Homo-oligomer: A and B are copies of this chain.
Amino acid sequence: VQIAILLYDRLAALDAVGPYEVLSRLPGADVVTVGERTGPVRSDTGTLGLIVDHRIDDITTPDVVVVPGGPGKTTHLADGPVPRWLRAVDTTTTWTTSVCTGSLILAAAGLLTGRRATTYWRSIDELAAHGAIPVRERVVTDGKYVTGAGVSAGIDMALTLVAHIAGDAMAQRLQLTIEYDPQPPFDAGSPATAPADVLTALTT
């Protein structure tokens, strides 16, 4: 299976690298990074460079597409090369997936219309504006569309995707391979659990 991970300027790097770390270890998977141009893109903070190995125009029939989010998503909400590519490859993908605000790109491209999907906690209302049915869950599967919540949720999304593709035992094997036994030092990762003052600091 060919798995194309989209990279673009001002993405949230973990959105892409979390799924990469899981999916690149799936036996038989051919993971490729794709973007409008080959060469470096910079993350949203500007301090990390990632390399695009393939032009989107050269990857025409990926089995799986992964669309990360981040501030740079805005560029790809209007029609352009990336939404056009997503619509084209989606006609033959087995799975079309996203992390964080990557689902807004998919939705704006018209691929999530009437479908249940999730996104970054701060952007959940925008999903509806683009025609999707927003769901506040960590990972949402609707048909062949698998969307993850914010940033770090790409790991959970990718393990769910592996279970869909290759079964639970393989997903468990990859989970153990990346020692994904999360033990956050605080219970503050969701607006539902974060201390009120922490949530207020981010939303006002």
Contacts and interface: CB of A to CB of B under 8 A. Distances in A.
A57 interface: no
A16 to B, nearest CB: 8
Nearest to A197: B169
Q: Which of A25, A175, A181, A182 has the most CB of B within 10 A?
A: A181
Contact of A188 (B18, B172, B185): B172
Where chain A touches its partner, the secondary structure class is mixed
Interface string A178-204: 111111111011110111011101100
A186 B171 contact: yes
A31 interface: yes
In which size bucket is the chain A interface?
35 or more
Nearest to A18: B14
A178 B152 CA distance: 6
A189 B198 contact: no
A12 B188 CA distance: 27
Interface string A1-42: 000000000001110011011001100001111000000100
A12 B106 CA distance: 29
Given A14-B17, A20-B43, A24-B48, 11 more contacts: A24-B43, A31-B48, A149-B181, A152-B181, A156-B185, A163-B186, A172-B194, A176-B188, A176-B190, A180-B184, A181-B189
Interface of A: 12-14, 17-18, 20-21, 24-25, 30-33, 40, 43, 45, 47-51, 53, 100, 120-121, 138-139, 149-153, 155-156, 159-160, 163, 168-169, 171-173, 175-186, 188-191, 193-195, 197-199, 201-202
A175 B31 CA distance: 28
